[in-house]
Each structure stands twice: as C-alpha cells, then as structure tokens.
Amino acid sequence: MGKKLEGNGIWESSRMILPEHRDAYLRLMKEQARRDKPTLDDQEMWQIEQAIITSYNERRSITLRVFNPFDDEELCGLVTVINTGRREVKLSRGEEDFSWIKLEEIIEAHI
C-alpha cells in the first residue's frame, strides 16, 4: 500500500491509455520524423543523369539513392529503359524484378 501513495499518489499505479490514443500518438511521432526532399543543384543533377546514361549505354550496374520522407532507399541494378517523356528510368534487378523510378526522386547515383 505504501508504494501506491508515493510519487503521484493513488494514480501512480492505475495509468492506462486507450488504443485509439496510442495509435494517434504513434502517427504523430512518425509524422514528426518526416523529412523534406533535399534540393539538388544543376551539377548534381547532371552527374546523376550522366551515371544513368552510362549505365544504360554500357550495360553497367548502378546504385541509386531514392528519396523517401522517412528513410532513403538504396537500389542497385541495371538501367534498361529511359523514358524522357515521363522522366522515369526502369531499374532492373533481375529477370522479373524491376522498378520505375522518377528522376526527381533520385538524390544520388554511383556506377
């Protein structure tokens, strides 16, 4: 009985949270962790485009870092299609495994 009266009094051992409140709190914490997309200058964009073109022309593997508001993704593969109209590239990682990636979302590229 003595421990119940320590600290916050009788309410110390009877705390609880509703599942709806917990979910709302977790959504709020996740939303606060959201990042803005970094702005790339013309030279960085040119380097990314050159790496993509080199991968496409020479059939060399490329590593792309794609922006995500919470955690950037790093994708490795071969550029098989460059769609200039939609400003997308098709990155193939295997026979049936590929991704269409918008050029605006790429923040780094390495061959």
Report yes or no: 73 and 66 within 8 Å, Cβ to Cβ: yes
Q: 58 falls in which pLDDT band (50, 70, 90)?
A: very high
pTM above 0.85, yes or no: no
Q: 26 falls in which pLDDT band (50, 70, 90)?
A: confident
**CA distance from start to end of the chain:** 67
Q: Mind listing the pLDDT tens digit for each residue in 79-98?
A: 999 999 999 999 998 888 89
What is d(CA 22, CA 24) in angstroms, rounded to the nearest whole number? Answer: 5
Q: Mind listing the pLDDT tens digit for each residue in 35-50?
A: 888 888 999 999 999 9
